[in-house]
Amino acid sequence: MPSPIISPTELADLIRNGTPPRILDVRWRLDQPEGRPAYLDGHLPGAVYVDLDHELARRGDPREGRHPLPPRAQLEAAARRWGIRGGDTVVAYDDVHSVAAARAWWVLTRSGLADVRVLDGGLRGWLAERLPLETGDVLPRPPGDVVLDEITEGVADIDGVEEWPDHGLLLDVRAPERYRGDAEPLDPVGGHIPGAVNLPTTVHLTAGKFRSPDEIRAEFAAAGVVDGVSVAAYCGSGIAATHTALAGALAGIDVVVYPGSWSQWSRSRGRLAAVGPAPSLDVVPV
């Protein structure tokens, strides 16, 4: 299996050698979800803009969470617009810690694409190597013809994660203050799923690039990941959890993702919210 990440120099070599992969610009962040203006101002050569909110997620009932997974037909239509054809190598990047790019990696990999990678260091890593950018829009012609599968593997639902701590390790990969319930800027209730352990996904990075597999494995082990224990991850709305799944893939650890994440849990009546640092917790109804 190819590595799930690729360095800027490796990608530049593929472009120069006339075998460019399909490159996806997935610029998105909570305070600036629309990345197209920045994309038009400058992007990697040949990169196609991906709208995370409308192509890597779907708009639905708020009780499903802020970023429910896209249905197969929607994702397949988007992938064809991006120009992806069967057998293509795909590289995704963004400009904030590869979190949004990891969402593209995860949904496309889980939809059956064999070779999807994330640009290590993202746009900043590319620019640090003094590599070129292009401006304007890229609209692949002809469009792609890729056929995708429904996402069924590596996914946990709300009932599954409620029971997960009974037989595995559930990771909350948000910032510690959101895990503890000290601050919750986006969802109606603060705190975390009872039994979850906090492992912020940013610990897997150094200067915007992924740490070595051994270092990542050590971070997982410190959180309680041991051989034979199933691991699931959630975040605010199912974006950062895919970044933890990517880190896990680098370290040889399979991480199941709960796409609804806290944005679904905190809007579901009858669920409990734990607050404070583990293991001394208060539990309140949502």
Q: Which residues are catalytic?
A: 235
Burial 159-170 (b: 16+ CB within 10 A, else e): eebbebeeebbb
Looking at the DSSP assignment, which residues form a beta bridge with residue 119?
A: 6
Is the distance from CB of 195 to CB of 283 less than 8 angstroms? no
Query: Can you give the C-alpha Rg of the chain in angstroms?
Result: 19
> Tokens for 243?
């970044």
Round to whole Å and give the CA distance between 148 and 228.
31
Is the distance from CB of 262 to CB of 187 less than 8 angstroms? yes
| Residue 152: strand, helix, or coil | coil
Round to whole Å and give the CA distance between 161 and 84.
33
